[in-house]
Amino acid sequence: MIGEVTLDQLRVLTAVAEAGSFSAAAKRLRRVQSAVSQAIANLERQLDVAVFDRSTRVPTLTEPGKAILAAARRVAGEVDALRGLAAGIGRGLEPSVSLCVDALFPLAVLVALCREFAATFPTVALRVDTETMSAVSARVLAGAATLGVAAPIAVAPGLERRPLAPIRMIAVVAAEHPLAQIEGPIDSARLGEHVQVVLSERGATGVPDQAVLSPRTWRVADLHTKQALLRAGLGWGNLPAALAEDDLAAGRLVAIRPAAWAEDEHTLHLSAIHRADTILGPAHRWIVERLTTLCAGPSEPPGMRSEADEASMRARVSRVEEAGARRRRAAGGAEAAGESWRAGRASSGVNRSRATGRAEAAREGENEARGEVAGKRPNEARAEAAGKSSSKSRAEAAGKGSNKSRAQAAGKSSRVSTGARGGSRGAGPSRGGRARSGKSEK
């Protein structure tokens, strides 16, 4: 039968295991070694288990002893927590705090808050829930959460509210989405052609869906699902600037400008809320004050920002939007240059085709002319040649005839002239002869 085990025996066991020997544990506990040895012996007798193996020079834990040591540490820790809780209650410290935040609340701020809370209130239990819209107020009203962080539209009557800091919502689409190629404001009719991803209530009752411009809507209950759908190019929608900032800078998402929304229309001011009849203890008051500091202080984590930081955020987002516009213009210029180049090539092709056609026509005309002379109309060519030859022959014959006639005429004339001259010369002697004959006759 297990006897009564004291807390002191458990602490001695833990000290021996951590110090490595009975003597070292005695020094740590500021006791004589015999008192430490006696406490361990009594524990072993009451548990009826050998905790240490004493057959070696330095006692070592047995296997059952290791399990008992782990249980002893848990018991000692619980007792310490009990004492801290009792002391806190005496000072008005709450034993636990339950916090419910809206899904829009920046995760970085929540993590920083919880880290500091654990260091400041180690004995106070903390429960954190995340809900959307009116579900935050519902949990606070029902007492399931003592504190909440909600958007103004979701704050139910009867709740105390303390404003924190603004959260800017940005309309975004994936870089490859058709809406990403449009610069400037986009009218509602154009937006209505595409799916809008909307953060919606989980239940049928509550706050109606906000900022819905498209008749084609996909509804989700958490922001991370919404962000994943937008990254995949399945639609467009709003995201908190802090959540979209990295995607915008990396070019995975592109900010767009719905014409129906004003510049600051979708800046939400989250508030810390609690029931009016709740008396806030030290831990609750610390959370409210620390939330205000984390959301608006100079050393805040990224997420929620003061008015000055919000202006800086708007400037950064504007720069990202301008960069996206420049990328779209560059893409459009490249496409226009490509079209111009293709049109130039087409025009050059037409001109070359026309020039080629003209050259071919000229060659065909030349060939036709040659063919007419050389081969296409041989009969006509031969006729023309024959005609030319006949004309030439007639001309030559006529020339020859004319020349012959002239020569003959000239010969005849020459002979006539010569005869005349001969006659003249012959007539003289005849007449002389006749005279000489007359003389003889006499």
Residue the block writes with tokens 């400008």:
257
Determine if the pTM surpasses 0.85: no
Burial bucket for residue 179 (CB in 10 Å: 0-12, 13-18, 19+): buried
Whether 83 is in a domain gets the answer: yes
Give yes or no: residues 59 and 152 share one domain. no
Closest CA to 298 of 312, 288, 314, 316: 312
Rounded Cα distance, 366 and 374, in Å: 12
Tell me: do 118 and 147 sit in the same domain. yes
Within-domain flag for 413: no
* pLDDT given at position 64: 92
* Distance from C-alpha of 301 to C-alpha of 100, rounded to nearest angstrom: 20
User: Number of helices (H) and strands (E), helices first, in the chain?
Assistant: 12, 13
Give a yes or no: residue 179 inside a domain: yes
Supply φ then ψ for residue 351, to 5 degrees: -60, -45
Assigned domain for 142 exists: yes
In a domain, 382, yes or no: no
26 sits in which H/E element: helix 22-29
- Of the residues 305, 333, 348, the one at which a domain ends: 305
Do residues 245 and 112 both lie within one domain? yes
Residue 211 region, left (φ>0) first, then alpha (ψ -120 to 50), else beta? left
Check residue 292 and give its pLDDT.
Answer: 85
Do 75 and 104 fall into the same domain?
no
Same domain flag for 141 and 83? no
Q: 55 and 161, same structural domain?
A: no
- Beta carbons of 244 and 306 less than 8 angstroms apart: no
**Does the residue 110 lie in any domain?**
yes
Residue 79 confidence (pLDDT): 87
**Residue 291 and residue 272 in contact, taking contact as beta carbons nearer than 8 Å:** yes
Question: How much is the pLDDT for 393?
Answer: 47
Task: Give the span between the Cα atoms of 362 and 357, in whole angstroms.
Answer: 8
Q: What per-residue confidence (pLDDT) applies to 346?
A: 57
Residue 154 CB: number of other CB atoms within 10 A? 24
**What is the per-residue pLDDT for 374?**
46
191 domain residue, yes or no? yes
pLDDT of 260: 86
Res 256: pLDDT: 92
Domain end (from 289, 305, 321): 305
Two structure tokens written together for 352: 């070359």
- Whether residue 333 is contained in a domain is answered as no
171 shares its domain with 229? yes
Residue 39 CA to residue 12 CA, distance in Å, equals: 7
Q: How far apart are CA 341 and CA 150, in angstroms?
A: 57
What's the CATH number where 283 sits?
3.40.190.290
The backbone torsions φ and ψ at residue 373, rounded to the nearest 5 degrees and listed phi first, read: -80, -45
DSSP string, 360-385: HHHHHHHHHHHHHHHTSSHHHHHHHH
Q: Same structural domain for residues 145 and 19?
A: no
Note down pLDDT in tens along the chain; length 442 residues: 456 889 999 999 999 998 988 999 999 999 999 999 999 999 999 899 999 988 888 888 999 999 999 999 999 888 887 887 777 666 678 888 999 998 888 888 899 999 999 999 988 899 999 888 888 988 998 889 999 998 877 777 878 888 887 888 889 999 999 999 988 899 999 999 999 999 887 765 656 666 788 899 998 888 889 999 999 999 999 998 888 889 999 999 999 999 888 776 678 888 899 998 888 889 999 999 998 888 764 434 444 444 454 455 555 555 555 655 566 566 566 555 666 656 665 555 555 556 566 666 666 655 555 554 444 444 444 545 455 444 454 545 445 544 444 545 444 444 434 443 444 344 444 434 333 333 333 3
Helices (H), 30-133: 33-47, 63-91, 107-120
Beta bridge partners, 217, equal 196
Range of the domain at 211: 96-305
Q: Are residues 74 and 180 in the same domain?
A: no
Torsion of CA 153, 158, 164, 165, to 10 degrees: 20
CB atoms inside a 10 Å sphere around CB 48: 9
- Amino acid at position 28, single letter: R
Looking at the structure, tell me whether residues 132 and 71 fall in a common domain.
Answer: no
Looking from the CA of 11 toward its CB, the CA atoms found within 13 Å total 13
Q: What is the DSSP letter of 198?
A: E
Query: Interior CA angle at 294 toward 290 and 295, to 5°?
Result: 115
> Does residue 35 sit in the same domain as residue 127?
no
| β-strand partners of 269 | 166
The whole-number pLDDT of residue 262 equals 76
For residue 73, what is the domain's CATH number? 1.10.10.10
Spatial distance between the Cα atoms of 171 and 194, rounded to a whole number of angstroms = 13
Domain boundary pick from 40, 70, 91 = 91
Angstrom distance (rounded) from CA 165 to CA 294? 10
Residues 63 and 150 reside in one and the same domain: no
Provide the number of structural domains found in the chain. Answer: 2
Least Cα distance to 241 among 184, 310, 293 occurs for: 310
